[in-house]
Amino acid sequence: MNFQPLANRVLIEREEEVTTTASGIIIPDNAKEKPLQGKVLAVGPDAKEEGINEGDTVVFAKYGGSEIVLDDKEYLILNSDEILGLIK
């Protein structure tokens, strides 16, 4: 994959969802919510200036961004202001 976000945009790979509860109950696909955190794969030049770097794990708004498919895999493109924080 070769994708370079422009301006303050960030390419995110969502983290995998938990498919079972602590008690062992399996959660069906249609009942799962998409995770609200992920790994930063690529960063636009303006987002780098804001302190967001490739490899960071970030938390983002539930309805933010645009979903895209690259190499048969789903990713999310966010503006840096839709990122709520970094997980250290």
CATH of the domain at 71: 2.30.33.40
- Tell whether 1 is covered by a domain: no
- Tell whether 44 is covered by a domain: yes
Residue 27 has pLDDT above 70, yes or no: no
Confirm whether pTM is higher than 0.85.
no
Domain count of the chain?
Answer: 1
Task: Assign 87 a pLDDT band (cuts: 50, 70, 90).
Answer: very high
Q: Range of 41's domain?
A: 9-16+31-87
- Tell whether 21 is covered by a domain: no
As a whole number of angstroms, the distance between CA 62 and CA 37 comes to: 9
Predicted local confidence at residue 35, as pLDDT: 67
Query: Residue 61: beta bridge partners?
Result: none
pLDDT tens per residue across span 39-66: 999 999 999 999 999 999 999 988 889 9
Residue 25 has pLDDT above 90, yes or no: no
